[in-house]
A and B are shown apart, each in its own frame.
Chain A
Amino acid sequence: MARSGFIFETSRRLVTGGAVYYFWMTLLTILAIVGITSYMKQLQVGLIATGMQNYVSWGLYIGNFTFLVGVAAAAVLLIIPAYLYDFGPIKEIVIVAEVLAVCALLMCLMFVTADLGRPDRFWHLIPGLGILSLPRSLLAWDIVVLNGYLFLNIAIPGYLLWNAYHDRPVNMRFILPFILLSIPWAVSIHTVTAFIYNGLAARPFWNASILAPRFLASAFCSGPALVILLYQLVRRYTTFHVKDEALFKIAEMIAIAMAINLFLLGAEFFKEVYSDTHHLTPLQYLYQGLHGKGMLVPWIRTALVFNVVAFVIFLIPATRKNFATLNLGCVLIIVGIWIEKGMGLIVPGFIPAPLGEVWEYAPTTIEILVSIGIWSIGLLLLTAILKIVLPIETGEFKKTGLDGVPIHAGGGL
């Protein structure tokens, strides 16, 4: 009875909302359908529908995957101050970051599936049924850590919210070990993802020890920047309260992470440029172009400018604490890191090819539509989950008394 009440009330809440809510959800649904249709087309003709070829065999899908692993990992940056240092203002809002992590992970899994040549053979990856090549394959490790992180990020907020819904106290001694575990686990998902590329001696652009630290630094920029924007939307459209000081604290952490990211980039540049070996070539292709080919050059230069400008904005307290400049900085960082940790990381790894050929890659319309579709499904999920989770968090949506009549609370998106 109680459960059916929860499901009924959840469904009711999902289909009621303001004009903005309906517009947003309709738009995302349309884009999702376009994406799914494009994916059907790709299944029909094979991966030849994409811009990938034997020279550049990974592209937009794996780029987005890499970026989103970073977003998912960044939820931890909020968990550390919230639970370990008991910083109140962030503690209240950490669940939103965990929900974002869950949606980012689901998008990751969708992007990997879209990239897979034979998704019909998915079962080959299931241990026992198929063969998951542990401990040798880093891709196998990545599957383990990503699913583990997904489980943790569903279990922890799930437990907290279920208790809030039932108006029961939380047993911190039970849940704290999981929260603590999720911290190293978040670091691990991005480290292992970096190691996928890092371990390949055939690709000097990736085969540098600085790759994993850079992954973490840039993830701790883009993820929290997304979170800052998300919180402002949440507090604008719901009764959920987020304190300004929490947002400014996150911005401060972004400034530190971006400083480290830029420093590591500089270190990478120095090593390659000064030693001037053939390992410089991919970096040359990326920032300058090679043999007259340089499709990524305007993109990566844009990313560099965006990241530096954002760093300055987040460094100066006056601009950090002004919402106009703060939001500008967030957008710059998200776009900058998306270029840098997406196509800017994946594509130059393949250029030049191991025998020296320079072949460029550009995504096809189908690839772009599928990617937009996956992002739309992710945002659709994010909106829907927040629509349920936030009222539980604020206490608006909870289990009712013996009569089982749900409380019709106002507000919501």
Chain B
Amino acid sequence: MSDQTDSFSKENSNSARASGSEIVQRPDSQPTDNRTVLSDRRTFLAGAAGLLGMIAVSSCTWQEFFQNNFRRMSKEEIEQTVHRLQEEYKKKYGKEFVVGTEAPLDATLFGYGLDIQRCIGCRRCVYGCVEENNQSRDPQIHYIRVLRFRDGNMDLEQSDIYYDPEEVPEKGYYYMPVQCQHCANPPCTKVCPVQATWTEPDGIVVVDYNWCIGCRYCMAACPYMGRWFNFTDPGIPKDQVNPNTHYLGNRPRMRNVVEKCTFCIQRVRQGIYPKCVEVCPVGARKFGNLLDPNSEISKIIKTKRVFRLKEELNTQPKFYYFFSI
């Protein structure tokens, strides 16, 4: 249990983290005291570019309006966008933000394991997730929902998420947290009319919050309540906002777009466990690379009896429930 905050992969985070702040720099404009040059075509173009740049920087909303889908952006466009977002977040929350764009790791397919036998239903994962991933506190959004079942059945319609006893675990009950299952055959990405949501090569299902048109079709398509909508501007107290973010992950969202669990993309792509894994007091949550036969998750799948939620829908979740004993 104690080793949970350690890196689960050999990748080091430093290089990736640094690049986030590096791209803030914008190219300087040409020196202006060079008066000997006459109406040179090059200076004219440079001046025009500088002017356009100034207009572009001053009118953020205009840039936001024309912002392209993340997967269609050039490297340069991504840098500019990240810079713009960092400025925007700083103005809003008064903090320096890192908006990372770390790419998926090679030969990695993330998978998750949840030990039903160990889970005590304490909901530390729920609130750890809210803090890490900048979910709206008011109105409240929780990516993780802990279902309580009475011993003897696993009927979702009989489950309860609003249990509130003095102490957990309660006698006669067991608990099953549910979040985005990061399906290999996800119904949610299929239905999106503008491809604002997709599966990354490392298996994480992500949303480009700036491309989502807010039709909520993906929410209707998800069989796990894995997607949430910001019906108004997310309410996060300034002192509680987490400034270490990823573009496809926990960066602050805007109103009227869909969001979801990303396995803490901002952490796992740097080799850090997802927050929910880190905060679980009983070690019920496991995470790792499905392609690595020696990873903890691969060993669990091989040695334990595992099952996936609603397997009859052929969504093929990469989220495995198991029994440790």
Pair B256/A46 contact, Cβ less than 8 Å: yes
Instruction: Pick the residue among A46, A353, A355 that contacts B233 (CB under 8 A).
Output: A46
B192-226 residues at the A interface, CB under 8 angstroms: 192-196, 211-217, 219-225
Pair B156/A356 contact, Cβ less than 8 Å: yes
A347-383 residues at the B interface, CB under 8 angstroms: 349-350, 352-357
Residues of A within 8 A of B193 (CB): 125, 132-133, 137, 139-140, 143
Per DSSP, are chain A's interface residues mostly helix, strand or loop, or mixed?
A: loop
User: 1/0 per position for A125-157, CB-CB distance to B under 8 A?
Assistant: 100001111001111100100000000000000
Distance, CA A121 to CA B215, complexed state (A):
11
Whether B313 sits at the interface, judged by CB under 8 Å, is yes
A96-121 residues at the B interface, CB under 8 angstroms: 115-121
Instruction: Pick the residue among A117, A121, A349, A355 that contacts B145 (CB under 8 A).
Output: A355
Pair A117/B194 contact, Cβ less than 8 Å: no
Residues of A within 8 A of B145 (CB): 355
Q: Which range holds the interface residue count of chain A?
A: 35 or more
Residues of A within 8 A of B72 (CB): 131
Residues of B within 8 A of A52 (CB): 231
Pair B195/A201 contact, Cβ less than 8 Å: no
Residues of B within 8 A of A281 (CB): 157
Closest Cβ of chain B to A372, distance in Å, is: 22
Pair B232/A125 contact, Cβ less than 8 Å: no
Pair A48/B232 contact, Cβ less than 8 Å: yes
Residues of A within 8 A of B225 (CB): 54, 353-355
Instruction: Pick the residue among A57, A124, A139 that contacts B219 (CB under 8 A).
Output: A57
Distance, CA A197 to CA B191, complexed state (A):
11
Whether A45 sits at the interface, judged by CB under 8 Å, is yes
Residue of B nearest to A278 (CB): B157
Residue of A nearest to B69 (CB): A131
Distance, CA A132 to CA B215, complexed state (A):
13
Residues of A within 8 A of B155 (CB): 278, 356
Whether B255 sits at the interface, judged by CB under 8 Å, is yes
Residues of B within 8 A of A196 (CB): 217
Q: A47-B256, A57-B216 are in contact. Are A202 and B187 (CB under 8 A)?
A: yes
Residues of B within 8 A of A200 (CB): 187, 191, 220-221
Distance, CA A281 to CA B161, complexed state (A):
19
Closest Cβ of chain A to B285, distance in Å, is: 19
Residue of A nearest to B145 (CB): A355
Given A47-B229, A119-B213, A352-B157, 9 more pairs with CB closer than 8 A:
A45-B232, A54-B219, A121-B213, A125-B194, A125-B213, A139-B215, A202-B187, A350-B220, A355-B161
8 interchain pairs (CB within 8 A)? A46-B255, A47-B229, A47-B232, A54-B225, A122-B213, A124-B213, A139-B191, A203-B220
What 5 pairs between A and B have smallest CB-CB spacing?
Answer: A117-B214, A117-B256, A202-B223, A46-B232, A356-B156
Residues of B within 8 A of A (CB): 65, 69, 72, 139, 141, 145, 147, 155-159, 161, 178, 187, 190-196, 211-217, 219-225, 228-233, 255-257, 313
